[in-house]
Amino acid sequence: MHPRNPYNKPPDFADLARRYPPLRPHVFINHTGSSTINFKNLPAQKRLTEALLHLDYGLSLTLPDDRLCPPVPNRLNYVLWLQDIVKFTCGSAAIRGLDIGTGASAIYPLLACGIEHIWNFVATDIDERSIQFAKQNVSQNSMDSRIVVERVQADGPILQPLHTSLMDFDFTMCNPPFYSSAEDVSRSAEFKEFGPNAVCSGAEVEMITPGGETNFVARIFLESLQLRTKCRWYTSMLGKMSSIPDIISLFREHNVDNYAITEFVQGQTRRWAIGWSFQDARLPDAFARVSNPALQNIMPSRNTLHHAFPGARSADILASALRNVLALINGITVTTSATPAIHDHSSTMLVHALSNTWSRAARRGKLSGTICADQDLPVLRCSVECRERSSYTSSDIACDLFFIWVEGKDRLIFESFTSHVSRKVTSTLQEFGDVI
């Protein structure tokens, strides 16, 4: 689960039932002596969703029996990941999202707007019954001014609001139909050794689409090639890990290198999400890469580069050497991060460069054309964190520099900057005797 997901620890079902009486008939004590519910019972699952949304987020939902009942922890994982992306790459005063296939619950816009008070949504669906319930759920939570629910046509553009709106969007999100046919749904259930973990009340329109989720997300991507910077980040959930390579192949075919892959885990259920952007803002590896060995050959390139200085005596000494080095590089602006460092005993500097002045070719005068035509567009923005840690092999302190690519088109410029700075910092520390 996402680190900020409060359901990393399973809820106390008995306590939930005390605070939300409609859940009480469905809570029982299992063989281990713990309270739980039967997740294969639809009324129990619905009451649990209602309880979590009501008690933890102040939301009230009306959920029909013939449409998907969304598990809150899983849906929250997606929202929290998007929250990370937005906070790191979007500077808008108000955030605008598109939820594709919002369903009867409109769970994503409601959860997101309940957490982030400057977020607004357009929520779409092709199913009239889902649209009716989604509008009802938005209204009963007094979110009409922030969430607009629209019906779109199944044979029309998936990203219809982006095509017609005069406003840009910050992100799209989607929980697409996973399956290509009813037979595909049956095969998926058969492959699960002990059967499905929970009851699924989804209608065919929510579960099945021609070509399955791979084709659906590919359609979103192909539309995004026309819209490009109309939206900062296009994202979608995926139900099958096997779908990811096909989507990444499509990215690479169209030279889209600014993308992200993540995993969402809830109990025994695992989902994935992908995101891509045509803008220059980059994501740190923590948001864009996962450690799953099966996916390593299709992961995006690293945007976080690490250089170790094991003999530096403190992060303060390393930071001083870094400041001296940066001060000698022409054409860059350096500021101290206004936000607290992620780790104790660390400090962060933000670097803004309008041209490449540090490479050997630039210093020889061979890169006179590297300054941007628009002086407001940097060739590089990155953060550099000086981090102090205890050595595993001794009582000595070890220090590191972490370079995080924040913005830019050219990865080679970022990599050359990190290499140049690290070499100069090493020389500076050696010169002053701070590395043994």
Q: Cα(348)–Cα(342) distance, rounded to whole angstroms?
A: 9
DSSP string, 213-235: HHHHHHHHHHHHHHHGGGEEEEE
Residue 369 is labelled as binding a ligand: no
183 and 208 Cβ atoms separated by less than 8 Å: no
- Can you tell me which residue has the tokens 């595909």? 184
Token pair belonging to 376: 């407001």
85 and 34 Cβ atoms separated by less than 8 Å: no
CB atoms within 10 A of CB 294: 11
Residue 356 is labelled as binding a ligand: no
User: What is the torsional sign of CA 88, 89, 91, 97?
Assistant: negative
Q: Cα(209)–Cα(16) distance, rounded to whole angstroms?
A: 37
Compute the CA torsion angle 425, 430, 434, 436 (nearest 10 deg): 120
Q: Exposed (0-12), middle (13-18) or buried (19+): which is 265, by Cβ within 10 Å? A: middle
Tell me the backbone φ, ψ of residue 131, rounded to 5 degrees.
-60, -45
Residue 19 is labelled as binding a ligand: no
Token pair belonging to 373: 């035509």
- The residues, ordered by sequence, that sit 6+ positions from 132 with a Cβ below 8 Å of its Cβ are 104
Pairing of strands 231-238, 332-336: unpaired
Nearest to 236 by CA among 207, 208, 269, 271: 271
Q: Cα(331)–Cα(284) distance, rounded to whole angstroms?
A: 25
Q: Cα(352)–Cα(25) distance, rounded to whole angstroms?
A: 59
Nearest to 347 by CA among 363, 335, 360: 335
Residue 101 is labelled as binding a ligand: yes
Determine the residue type at 397. Answer: I
Going edge to edge, which strands form the sheet with 259-266? Answer: 147-151, 119-125, 95-100, 169-174, 231-238, 269-276, 259-266
**Residues, the chain:** 436
Summarize the annotated binding site as residue ranges.
75, 101, 125, 175
Summarize the annotated binding site for S-adenosyl-L-methionine as residue ranges.
75, 101, 125, 175
